[in-house]
Chains A and B, each alone.
Chain A
Amino acid sequence: MLRAVVWNELEKLVRRRWLLIVLVTAAVVGLGIAIELASPQPADWRSQTREQIAQLRAAKDQLQSAPEGVPAGFQASLNAAIDQQLEAERYLLDHDIAPSDWYPAGRAIGTILKTGFGFLLLLFGWLAAESVAQERADRTLGLLLSRPVSRRKVLFGKAIALQVVATVVLLAAMLPVYVITGLQHGGWAALTTRIMVLDDPVKGVLAGNIELLPAWFYMLAAMVLSLAAVLVAQTLGLLVSILARGPGLAIGSTLCALLVLQPLAAVLRLALKDPAWLHFTFWPYLSPSTELTSQPTMGLGYSSAGLSLSVLLVWAVAFLVVGVALFTRRSETS
């Protein structure tokens, strides 16, 4: 029965919103590719790494011949930091490891996660928010619920159908980019090479702060983290859709929440000096780009991926459980 409900929901969703889904997906892929093309493309990550090593060595030499008056402690700590970076860069070069933001496929996917993923999150929030509320407004919900199917299955069916569409859209956005850019720049080997990500991007490229992921695993991690974030957006949208009186209100409320909560998390992080409770909200984890970065930046790193995934899944389950509890008890009067 659940399969029949999922199939029905997929048919309704795709037939009703195919144009919106295709347009947003195309826009996200197009935006990612445009930014990629506009950015200076590293011809060869190895030569770039060698260049960086040379720059670090030069910086170290400069530091040693620094004028007197520079505090000895400061000089020593700078030296240690440069040594750590040199060690990390040499390690990457010696072991033939591409940092993700240099490696074309990793970089392209990173660009999509950084730029277009937010739009995809809003798209899936929208689709979830209208799923119940729109049926109520269209007077199809009464007919659907008068049929021999439990409300729990109706809701699960909607959630599964939304997640299936999200998986297809994310695969459509990422997989071709991964394959095409990989093949263009390095042949088949580029698809199986290892990609570096930072455990803590705030600390930068330092020995002990890097993780080496096979390219396929990098792709999989990007998909899983993205799908978890989408799942939270969708279950939140579904919950709002059950509660809201009309589809406009449901969509508006969900989009507002998704637009406001991420920047709010960043502001709270800075203002309250990264409070512990913030790590148990889903807000900081809605953008998976910083968890898979090889460039020093603010935000979470690869070491937070497990926590991120767990927190997102717990919130998604919580939204779904509350949604089912409300939906199965709610009287449909309209």
Chain B
Amino acid sequence: MILEVEHLTRRFGARTAVQDVNLRVEAGEIFGFLGPNGAGKTTAIRMLLGLLRPDSGSARVAGFDCWRQHVQAARHFGAVLESPGMYTALTARENLRQFARLLGGVTKQEQSRLLREVGLEGRADEPVRGFSLGMRQRLAVAQALLGNPQLLVLDEPTNGLDPLGIRDLRELLRGLADEQGIAIVLSSHLLGEVEELCDRIAIMSHGFVRAQGSLVELVNRDGFRFELWAGDPARARTVLEVIPGLEVIEGTASTRLQLHADRDVSELVTAILVQQGVGVRELRRCPGNLEDYFREVTLRSIEPVAAAS
């Protein structure tokens, strides 16, 4: 477990910015904070980075408290803040060297490799004052990757990036998680971004985590829907109706059945039908709609919703 957050709470005067946030992130996992502007995502992320002191609760990276043991905790993460600033009088390479010095032991070759990975190799020796927002964002990603962190924390990482830049960043992050086992926590108000990238998400609104779980679990919170094309639909219906928690709904086409289950039963359905000698042409899980769920969750009252997982 690289990141453990327990009962994290932060108030600004009378306003509660983050209330009782609990979450855990494992190596190789991409976790997303999703929420509208002002939901408390940035405040939560700033507490993870040791920039904000929590009023109560704790955030621990690799077992170290992010506020009280900041120096030890920070050795394990890299961060990209929302609209990150860079030292504009310095070049991209010098900026990277600034942060590398603070980590110690980061070679020049590694710095050059990171500049190459984020596509800034050709402009590494130009002052950052001439860089676009997207280029600064890519430089910020490079500095976050210095020292091979176990956890990458990104606040609205695609802000300012063009579509190609967004695609490249997604591929880079996915590669880091899959190939190097780096855990990634990112915040975004963009549904598509979170949907494409994250393994698990927490939906925040008014400082509360309204829902938390894998994307599949959240969008199928009212059950899983499937479409089944079977060789003998009538017999298939008879066989499937005995499975507890599974309901067969009349299909629009004579050969297609619609199924509704309280869990993912795709493997079970296939196995039983094959065992009973019913031909299965296709079994497809209907995708849930995150946008609908997001709207529903964020419009709810202030009361927090129990975590889905």
- A residues near B, CB below 8 A? 1, 4-5, 7-8, 11-12, 15-16, 135, 138-140, 142-150, 329, 331-333
Residues on A with beta carbons closer than 8 Å to the beta carbon of B53: 329, 331
Residues on B with beta carbons closer than 8 Å to the beta carbon of A331: 46, 51-53
Given A8-B102, A148-B75, A149-B102, answer yes or no on A15-B85 (Cβ-Cβ < 8 Å).
no
- The distance from the CB of A289 to the nearest CB of chain B, in whole angstroms, is 34
8 A Cβ contacts from B36-77 to A? 43, 46, 49-53, 70-72, 74-75, 77
Known: A143-B84, A147-B99, A332-B52. 19 other contacts (CB 8 A): A8-B102, A15-B89, A138-B88, A139-B81, A139-B84, A140-B86, A140-B87, A142-B84, A143-B81, A143-B85, A143-B140, A146-B81, A148-B72, A331-B46, A331-B51, A331-B53, A333-B12, A333-B43, A333-B46
**A4 contacts B84, C-beta separation under 8 Å:** no
**A12 contacts B98, C-beta separation under 8 Å:** yes
Given A1-B104, A142-B46, answer yes or no on A332-B51 (Cβ-Cβ < 8 Å).
yes
**B102 contacts A146, C-beta separation under 8 Å:** no
In this complex, how many residues of chain B approach chain A with their Cβ under 8 Å: the count is 33
Against A, the Cβ 8 Å flags (1 = close, 0 = not) of B269-293 are 0000000000000000000000000
> Can you sample 13 A-B contacts with CB below 8 Å?
A8-B102, A15-B87, A15-B89, A138-B87, A138-B88, A139-B81, A142-B81, A148-B71, A148-B72, A148-B103, A331-B51, A332-B46, A332-B51
A140's contact among B49, B79, B85, B104, by CB below 8 Å, is which? B85
B197: Cβ under 8 A from any A Cβ: no
Residues on A with beta carbons closer than 8 Å to the beta carbon of B94: 11, 15
Q: Whole-angstrom distance between the alpha carbons of A139 and B42 in the complex? A: 14
- The distance from the CB of A308 to the nearest CB of chain B, in whole angstroms, is 36
**A146 contacts B71, C-beta separation under 8 Å:** no
**A4 contacts B83, C-beta separation under 8 Å:** no
Q: Whole-angstrom distance between the alpha carbons of A138 and B71 in the complex? A: 23
Residues on A with beta carbons closer than 8 Å to the beta carbon of B74: 146-149
B15: Cβ under 8 A from any A Cβ: no
**B101 contacts A8, C-beta separation under 8 Å:** yes
**A4 contacts B90, C-beta separation under 8 Å:** no
Against A, the Cβ 8 Å flags (1 = close, 0 = not) of B244-260 are 00000000000000000
**B88 contacts A146, C-beta separation under 8 Å:** no
**B46 contacts A148, C-beta separation under 8 Å:** no
- The distance from the CB of B141 to the nearest CB of chain A, in whole angstroms, is 12
6 closest cross-chain pairs (CB), A and B:
A139-B85, A148-B74, A4-B101, A146-B49, A138-B85, A140-B85
A143's contact among B12, B72, B89, B99, by CB below 8 Å, is which? B99
Q: Whole-angstrom distance between the alpha carbons of A138 and B89 in the complex? A: 12
**B51 contacts A150, C-beta separation under 8 Å:** no
Q: Whole-angstrom distance between the alpha carbons of A7 and B98 in the complex? A: 9
Q: Whole-angstrom distance between the alpha carbons of A189 and B104 in the complex? A: 50
B143: Cβ under 8 A from any A Cβ: yes
Residues on B with beta carbons closer than 8 Å to the beta carbon of A8: 98, 101-102
**B51 contacts A11, C-beta separation under 8 Å:** no
**A143 contacts B79, C-beta separation under 8 Å:** yes
**B90 contacts A11, C-beta separation under 8 Å:** yes
Q: Whole-angstrom distance between the alpha carbons of A82 and B143 in the complex? A: 74
Residues on B with beta carbons closer than 8 Å to the beta carbon of A146: 49-51, 74, 77, 79, 81
Residues on B with beta carbons closer than 8 Å to the beta carbon of A7: 101
**A139 contacts B72, C-beta separation under 8 Å:** no
A11's contact among B46, B72, B83, B98, by CB below 8 Å, is which? B98
> B50, B88, B98: which has the most chain A beta carbons within 10 Å?
B98
**B49 contacts A142, C-beta separation under 8 Å:** yes
Q: Which residue of A lies closest to B99 (CB)?
A: A147
Q: Whole-angstrom distance between the alpha carbons of A135 and B87 in the complex? A: 9
Residues on B with beta carbons closer than 8 Å to the beta carbon of A135: 85
A147's contact among B46, B84, B86, B103, by CB below 8 Å, is which? B103
Q: Which residue of A lies closest to B102 (CB)?
A: A147
- The distance from the CB of A328 to the nearest CB of chain B, in whole angstroms, is 10
**B90 contacts A12, C-beta separation under 8 Å:** yes
Q: Which residue of A lies closest to B51 (CB)?
A: A332
Q: Whole-angstrom distance between the alpha carbons of A7 and B99 in the complex? A: 11
Against A, the Cβ 8 Å flags (1 = close, 0 = not) of B2-33 are 00000000001000000000000000000000
Given A11-B98, A146-B51, answer yes or no on A139-B83 (Cβ-Cβ < 8 Å).
yes
- The distance from the CB of B90 to the nearest CB of chain A, in whole angstroms, is 6
Residues on B with beta carbons closer than 8 Å to the beta carbon of A145: 49-51
Residues on A with beta carbons closer than 8 Å to the beta carbon of B75: 148
- The distance from the CB of A7 to the nearest CB of chain B, in whole angstroms, is 6
Q: Whole-angstrom distance between the alpha carbons of A325 and B89 in the complex? A: 30
- The distance from the CB of B77 to the nearest CB of chain A, in whole angstroms, is 8
Against A, the Cβ 8 Å flags (1 = close, 0 = not) of B228-252 are 0000000000000000000000000
Residues on A with beta carbons closer than 8 Å to the beta carbon of B12: 333
Q: Whole-angstrom distance between the alpha carbons of A11 and B149 in the complex? A: 25
- The distance from the CB of B71 to the nearest CB of chain A, in whole angstroms, is 5
Q: Which residue of B lies closest to A331 (CB)?
A: B52
Q: Whole-angstrom distance between the alpha carbons of A12 and B50 in the complex? A: 23
Q: Whole-angstrom distance between the alpha carbons of A145 and B49 in the complex? A: 8
Q: Which residue of A lies closest to B48 (CB)?
A: A146
Residues on A with beta carbons closer than 8 Å to the beta carbon of B104: 1, 4
A148's contact among B51, B86, B102, by CB below 8 Å, is which? B102
- The distance from the CB of B265 to the nearest CB of chain A, in whole angstroms, is 45
Q: Which residue of A lies closest to B72 (CB)?
A: A148
Q: Which residue of A lies closest to B100 (CB)?
A: A4
Q: Whole-angstrom distance between the alpha carbons of A11 and B98 in the complex? A: 9
- The distance from the CB of B14 to the nearest CB of chain A, in whole angstroms, is 16
Q: Whole-angstrom distance between the alpha carbons of A4 and B84 in the complex? A: 22
Q: Which residue of B lies closest to A15 (CB)?
A: B89
Residues on B with beta carbons closer than 8 Å to the beta carbon of A1: 102, 104
